[in-house]
């Protein structure tokens, strides 16, 4: 009852699709793609706005268009897609072989493979994780959930909307509701600066006259059956509520864009080490987790700003998996990347110095005119504006990396 493959990919979103396509092109001929839902593309099909693909396809695409391009390429491969399949367990056998088991409509499945790529994506944080008190009525949705309801199923969650969180997801949903004729009362952001890309502040809020309340916090939801409004309060520099600044905003739906968390359950259960900073697995520059032969890409690895980065990581993981399958990995001695000044997170965590590496990271606090410095090799990259919400991405060549003698690679963000 075991099905044998060279490569199993868990997750059919942008990272998973890109890795399936890339692995096929690299000559991996026996690939299975396990997708939980009944369609491929992950969240792309519900992201009907443009702004996708500028890096990856060098075109401005909507989510469904981006997905369609990947699916077109997938068609010309021999990748076996198991849609509607939930992978419950990942186990590594003594010979290094991986076993993935789970369920799909009408049957249980068991897959054996030489390498696996986890591209399981992320989930959204709930109101309970950010401590929004008050009542528990209907009409409180996470942004992605609201987007699914609207753009996959044609359900309108409300007509008077308050969006909590000004990350890109929140901004895009604010505009999405405005486009359907809803009255978007405000986007409420606890930080003194917006969480999303500047272009989204302009295109999603300013163009639609949607107010952005910075340094404000939604503390309570009111309404015994349906949402009747939210209590908001101003916060000081330490994010503590300012007494007496409470206000009530009437609305019938609250949309929460309060953060994403990598879906690492499968990897964690299998024993992969998880990085507290990213919430994703610890990986080396092959995007291999601490479980040999198990790779990670996309939002399960690190929450990305751009789908392009997720797809890029998918390709990277596929190249590594292909190498492992075809020639095997030599034993590397890895150097550890260390978070220095104002660096909140960075991937990959471990560097073999045997190849060029693309780093993805975020700063801890906003700054202007800074440099991301890889200290020992004195490579620096300029960041005119550094914000926690905007991921930085740099490539360092193997030649540069080889110059390092230290066991650690210290990364700092410093003022120019």
Partner 1 sequence: MGGLIRVAIIGAGVVGASISRVLSMFEDFEVHLIEREADVGWGVSKANTGIIHAGYDDEPDLFPLRAKLCAEGNLIWHEWVKDLDIPTRWCGSLVLAFNSEEEEILEDLLDRGIRNGVPSLEIIDHEKLKMLEPNSSENATAALWAPTAGQISPWDAVAALVENSIANGVKLHLSTEVRGIKVVEGRISGLETNKSFLEVDCVINAAGLYADKISEMAGVGGYYIKPRKGEYLIFDKDAEPKVSRIIFPTPTPISKGVVVTTTTDGNLMIGPSAQDLPENLREDKSNTYDGLKFVWESASNLVNKLPPRSKVIRFFAGLRPEPSGGDFIIRDCDEVFGFIEASGMRSPGLTSAPAVARMILDALKAKFDLNPKLKAGWNRYRRRIKRFSEMTFEERIKAVNENPGYGRIICVDELVTEAEIVEAIRRGATTIDSIKFRTRACMGTCQGSSCMYKVAVILARELNVPLWSVSLKGPGTEIGIGDVKALFKEFKEKNKLEGESQG
* Residues engaged in binding partner 1 (CB under 8 A): 36, 84, 86, 88, 102-108, 123-124, 126-129, 133-138, 141-142, 144-145, 148-151, 153-159, 180-182, 219-220, 222, 224-226, 252, 265
Q: In the complex, what is the shortest distance from the CB of residue 51 to partner 1, in angstroms, rounded to a whole number? A: 21
CA 206 to chain CA mean position, Å: 26
Q: In the complex, what is the shortest distance from the CB of residue 86 to partner 1, in angstroms, rounded to a whole number? A: 4
Q: In the complex, what is the shortest distance from the CB of residue 125 to partner 1, in angstroms, rounded to a whole number? A: 8
Q: In the complex, what is the shortest distance from the CB of residue 384 to partner 1, in angstroms, rounded to a whole number? A: 34
Q: Residue 334 gets which letter from DSSP?
A: P
> Which residue, 299 or 320, has its beta carbon nearer to partner 1?
299
Give, rounded to a whole angstrom, the gap between the first and last alpha carbons of the chain: 61
Q: In the complex, what is the shortest distance from the CB of residue 358 to partner 1, in angstroms, rounded to a whole number? A: 29
Backbone angles phi, psi at 412, to 5 degrees: -125, 150
> Which residue, 222 or 379, has its beta carbon nearer to partner 1?
222
Q: Three-state SS for 199?
A: helix
> Which residue, 45 or 157, has its beta carbon nearer to partner 1?
157
Alpha helices in 240-335 (DSSP H): 265-269, 307-326
Rounding to the nearest 10 degrees, give the CA dihedral for residues 121, 255, 387, 245: -150
Sheet holding 350-351, edge to edge: 350-351, 335-339, 408-415, 367-374, 379-386
> Which residue, 103 or 208, has its beta carbon nearer to partner 1?
103
> Which residue, 4 or 159, has its beta carbon nearer to partner 1?
159
> Which residue, 139 or 196, has its beta carbon nearer to partner 1?
139
Angle at 327 between CA 324 and CA 331, to 5 degrees: 70
- Cβ contacts of 98 within 8 Å, gap of 6 or more: 8, 90, 91, 92, 112, 113, 114, 115, 116, 293, 294
CA 407 to chain CA mean position, Å: 29
> Which residue, 34 or 377, has its beta carbon nearer to partner 1?
34
Q: In the complex, what is the shortest distance from the CB of residue 248 to partner 1, in angstroms, rounded to a whole number? A: 14
CA 49 to chain CA mean position, Å: 18
Q: In the complex, what is the shortest distance from the CB of residue 129 to partner 1, in angstroms, rounded to a whole number? A: 7
- Cβ contacts of 355 within 8 Å, gap of 6 or more: 285, 398
> Which residue, 176 or 349, has its beta carbon nearer to partner 1?
176
Backbone angles phi, psi at 378, to 5 degrees: 40, 45
Q: In the complex, what is the shortest distance from the CB of residue 341 to partner 1, in angstroms, rounded to a whole number? A: 26
Region class of 164: left (phi > 0), else alpha (psi between -120 and 50), else beta: beta
């Amino acid at each position: 009852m075991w099905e044998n493959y060279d490569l199993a990919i868990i997750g059919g979103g942008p990272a998973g699709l890109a890795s399936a396509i890339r692995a096929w092109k690299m000559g991996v001929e026996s690939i299975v793609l396990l997708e939980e839902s009944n369609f491929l593309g992950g969240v792309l099909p519900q992201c009907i706005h443009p702004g996708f693909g500028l890096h990856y396809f060098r075109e401005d695409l909507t989510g469904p268009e981006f997905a369609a391009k990947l699916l077109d390429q997938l068609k010309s491969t021999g990748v076996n897609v198991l849609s509607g399949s939930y992978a419950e367990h990942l186990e590594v056998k003594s010979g290094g072989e991986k076993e993935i088991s789970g369920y799909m409509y009408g049957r249980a499945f068991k897959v054996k493979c030489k390498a696996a790529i986890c591209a399981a994506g992320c989930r959204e944080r709930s109101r309970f994780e950010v401590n929004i008190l008050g009542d528990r009525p209907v009409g409180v949705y996470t942004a992605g959930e609201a987007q699914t309801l609207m753009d996959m199923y044609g359900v309108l969650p409300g007509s008077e909307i308050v969006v909590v969180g000004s990350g890109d997801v929140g901004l895009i949903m604010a505009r999405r509701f405005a486009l359907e004729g809803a009255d978007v009362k405000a986007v409420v952001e606890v930080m003194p600066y917006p969480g999303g890309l500047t272009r989204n502040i302009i295109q999603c809020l300013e163009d639609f006259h949607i107010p952005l309340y910075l340094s404000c916090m939604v503390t309570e939801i009111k309404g015994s059956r349906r949402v009747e409004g939210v209590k908001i309060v101003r916060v000081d520099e330490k994010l503590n509520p300012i007494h007496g600044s409470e206000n009530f905003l009437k609305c019938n739906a609250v949309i929460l864009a309060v953060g994403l968390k990598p879906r690492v359950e499968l990897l964690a259960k299998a024993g992969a080490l998880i990085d507290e900073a990213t919430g994703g697995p610890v990986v080396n520059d092959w995007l291999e987790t601490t479980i040999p032969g198990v790779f990670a890409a996309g939002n399960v690895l690190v929450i990305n700003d751009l789908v392009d980065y997720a797809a890029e990581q998918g390709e990277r993981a596929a190249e590594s998996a292909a190498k492992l399958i075809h020639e095997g990995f030599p034993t590397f001695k890895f150097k550890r990347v260390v978070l220095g000044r104002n660096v909140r997170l960075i991937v990959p965590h471990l560097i073999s110095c045997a190849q060029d590496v693309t780093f993805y990271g975020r700063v801890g606090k906003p700054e202007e005119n800074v440099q991301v410095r890889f200290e020992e090799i004195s490579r620096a990259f300029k960041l005119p504006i550094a914000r926690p919400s905007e991921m930085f991405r740099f490539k360092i060549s193997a030649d540069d990396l080889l110059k390092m003698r230290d066991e650690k690679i210290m990364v700092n963000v410093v003022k120019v």
